[in-house]
Chain A
Amino acid sequence: MSGVASGGVVLRGVTKRFVTPTGAAMTAIRDINLTVEPGQFVAIVGPTGCGKSTTLTLASGLDMPSGGTVTVNGKDVTGITKGASFVFQTDALMPWKSVEANVALGPTFRGVSKADALKLARNWLKTVGLAGFEKHYPHQLSGGMRKRVSLAAALINEPTMLMMDEPFSALDVQTRAIMSNELLTLWEKSRPSVMFVTHDLEEAIALADKVVVITAGPGTVKATFEVDLPRPRGAVQEIRFQPRFLELYQQIWESLREEVERAYSRQADPNAVRGAA
């Protein structure tokens, strides 16, 4: 628990309930305890509908917990978390703004002058390998390129924590591997703490320092695994052949499989009440 006051994220006994349109209360996550050390890369895995994304929205301050406390950088979250950036599953780019204007949004909102913001944006586009595409509109780019723009737009604010909600799940397998490598390279440079939600266990182990398994909904932390693979990890595609990787994969999958099966059988059973604790 070192350095909790100077950075990182701590969730203590966090519960989130929603009221469904029919008026019933639904518990999305229940009593989650989770710590992200400053500069740590934490992957959160779990079956569909277990509340992984909810956890992220609570940490980012987009939503408030129904119970428990969320602390980021040593402060309780009461509004939008300062110093956090979010990368969504579907790219949250403004289709009516050029690529550079999209990346420049963060500085613009913070009051940086338009010219300086654009200059900064162009630098970041260079960093993510998109020099020459500054004036394009998002729809003119491929899925992988749009993801790069999203990354640049998130990193330009120099976040101390980066929240990623299945960021690469809409990409094809090859592009996803390339983007994973690139994410690691970028992350090594500034080392923000990362909360990375995914349902791809391989991706989780290849990227993270710590993998958190969430139970089938209502989600709570089932187990936490430290990933002791050395850094820098190098190519994500190759690390998965290392014996230690396979060992970890087996361990974590053992834990995850039960939850996936539970979530699946619940889905298949029409009489089951969804989300009942």
Chain B
Amino acid sequence: MTQMDTVAGQGTSDGRKEESAIAAAARARFRTRKILVHTTQIAILVLGLGFWEIGSRIGWIDPFFFGSPLGIVQRLADWFANGTAYGSFWDQIWITLEESILGFVFGVASGVVFGILLGEVPFLADVFGPYIKIVNALPRIVLGSIFVIWLGLGLPSKVLLAAVLVFFVVFFNAFQGVRSVDRNLVANARILGASRLQVVRHVVVPSAMTWIIASLHVALGFSIIGAIVGEFLGAQGGLGLVIATSQNTFDASGVFGAMLVIGVLALGAEALMTQLEHRLLAWRPKSTSENNIAGL
């Protein structure tokens, strides 16, 4: 017995050394790979922008149609310093942001409420199902024109368009999420004495949350699209109007510049959303891809 113990003891201390060596090697491999990936990414960016810039200078690319990286930077610098034709550039960014955020909030809230309601009450789902499908099949962007007629050129028409776009994404996910709740969990909660509302609160909503949160990323994109398209269709300010004006004056750098700003906004929002997702879904086991860092 004692002999076996010592043998086993030696084995583990040797094993531990070996394991830490393997782990260190794997970490080093992982680091090298990460550096390689990032270097390549930067190289591609520099090459692309360099080609574009030089090409536009020596005449391969017509800067009138395609702009140039430096031209875009200059245009943005000008906007930030001197403002646009309809006020400071910051104001335009804020207008679009405000429309997107409000549209997102209203769209998500209504999508979640209706999704859960229709998911929980089959009668409502059967009654409203076809209508929702019909409205969903319409090219909803066109609704923007109606909204501008109804609500005018100000903020409400854009918020409504963004909210409508967001609603359908979130609604279908919430609905599906409610429908795919584990029947065992519901049965268990009922036997433990849960009322219908308690089942919804403790089982259905948290369970559907995974689906709902998955839809929020897409919804976020749609809220920005809704705001910008709404501004295209008729507005007194906002990045969509900036782009439309640049288009009308054949200012390619302006279009690209505004696009860049929208991209930065979207990335920032996306990062916030990821934070929120980690927060709300902290209970979830790490997916295997997250656990196995490459090379380990």
List A residues 96-113 near B (Cβ within 8 Å): 96-98, 105-106, 108-110
Contact, CB under 8 Å: B206 / A109: no
- Chain-A contact segment, one of B72-80, B191-199, B221-229: B191-199
Contact, CB under 8 Å: B184 / A137: no
Complex Cα–Cα for A96 and B203 (A):
9
Decide yes or no: A96 and B206 within 8 Å by CB, A86-B191, A106-B192, A109-B194 being known contacts.
yes
- Chain-B contact segment, one of A87-95, A178-186, A201-209: A87-95
| Contact of A197 with B by CB under 8 A | no
Complex Cα–Cα for A209 and B283 (A):
41
Contact, CB under 8 Å: A109 / B184: no
List A residues 147-190 near B (Cβ within 8 Å): 153, 157
Contacting residues, chain B, for A139 (C-beta < 8 A): 283-285
B184 to chain A, nearest CB (A): 5
A78 to chain B, nearest CB (A): 14
| Contact of A277 with B by CB under 8 A | no
Contact, CB under 8 Å: B184 / A90: yes
| Contact of B266 with A by CB under 8 A | no
| Contact of A44 with B by CB under 8 A | no
Contact, CB under 8 Å: A94 / B190: no
Complex Cα–Cα for A155 and B283 (A):
25
Contact, CB under 8 Å: B188 / A88: yes
| Contact of A85 with B by CB under 8 A | yes
Contact, CB under 8 Å: B188 / A109: no
Contact, CB under 8 Å: B187 / A109: no
Contacting residues, chain B, for A60 (C-beta < 8 A): 191
Complex Cα–Cα for A97 and B185 (A):
12
| Contact of A223 with B by CB under 8 A | no
Residue of B nearest to A92 (CB): B188
Complex Cα–Cα for A97 and B192 (A):
16
Contacting residues, chain A, for B194 (C-beta < 8 A): 105, 109
Residue of A nearest to B280 (CB): A96
Complex Cα–Cα for A106 and B190 (A):
10
Complex Cα–Cα for A60 and B188 (A):
10
Contact, CB under 8 Å: B203 / A80: no
Complex Cα–Cα for A157 and B271 (A):
44
Contact of A94 among B185, B193, B284 (CB under 8 A): B185
| Contact of B202 with A by CB under 8 A | yes
Contact, CB under 8 Å: B283 / A95: yes
Contact, CB under 8 Å: B185 / A109: no
| Interface mask (B180-222 → A, CB under 8 Å = 1, otherwise 0) | 0010110111111111001000110011010000000000000
Residue of B nearest to A98 (CB): B283
Contacting residues, chain A, for B209 (C-beta < 8 A): 96
A166 to chain B, nearest CB (A): 13
Contact, CB under 8 Å: B195 / A109: yes
Contact, CB under 8 Å: B193 / A97: no
Complex Cα–Cα for A60 and B187 (A):
10
| Contact of A121 with B by CB under 8 A | no
Contacting residues, chain B, for A90 (C-beta < 8 A): 184
Residue of A nearest to B184 (CB): A92
DSSP class of B's interface residues: helix, strand, loop or mixed?
helix
Decide yes or no: A105 and B206 within 8 Å by CB, A92-B184, A95-B283, A139-B285 being known contacts.
no
| Contact of A84 with B by CB under 8 A | yes
Complex Cα–Cα for A106 and B189 (A):
8
Contact, CB under 8 Å: B192 / A157: yes
Contact of A109 among B198, B207, B285 (CB under 8 A): B198
Complex Cα–Cα for A106 and B195 (A):
11
Contacting residues, chain B, for A157 (C-beta < 8 A): 192-193
| Contact of A246 with B by CB under 8 A | no
Contact of B190 among A80, A88, A96, A108 (CB under 8 A): A80
Contacting residues, chain B, for A92 (C-beta < 8 A): 182, 184-185, 187-188
Residue of A nearest to B186 (CB): A92
B181 to chain A, nearest CB (A): 11
Contacting residues, chain A, for B192 (C-beta < 8 A): 85, 105-106, 109, 153, 157
| Contact of A62 with B by CB under 8 A | yes
Contact, CB under 8 Å: A62 / B203: no
Complex Cα–Cα for A153 and B184 (A):
14
Complex Cα–Cα for A108 and B202 (A):
10
Complex Cα–Cα for A226 and B84 (A):
91
A177 to chain B, nearest CB (A): 25
Residue of B nearest to A82 (CB): B193
Contacting residues, chain B, for A95 (C-beta < 8 A): 283-284
Contact, CB under 8 Å: B191 / A62: yes
Interfacial residues, chain A to chain B (CB-CB below 8 A): 57, 60, 62, 80-81, 84-86, 88, 90, 92, 94-98, 105-106, 108-110, 137, 139-140, 153, 157
A-B contact pairs, 28 of them (CB 8 A): A62-B190, A62-B191, A80-B190, A80-B191, A81-B191, A84-B191, A85-B191, A86-B187, A86-B188, A86-B191, A92-B184, A92-B187, A94-B206, A96-B206, A97-B283, A98-B283, A105-B189, A105-B192, A106-B192, A108-B202, A109-B189, A109-B194, A109-B198, A109-B202, A137-B283, A139-B283, A139-B285, A157-B193
User: Beyond A92-B185, A97-B283: 11 further Cβ-contacts under 8 Å?
Assistant: A60-B191, A80-B193, A86-B191, A90-B184, A94-B203, A96-B284, A97-B206, A105-B189, A137-B283, A139-B285, A157-B192
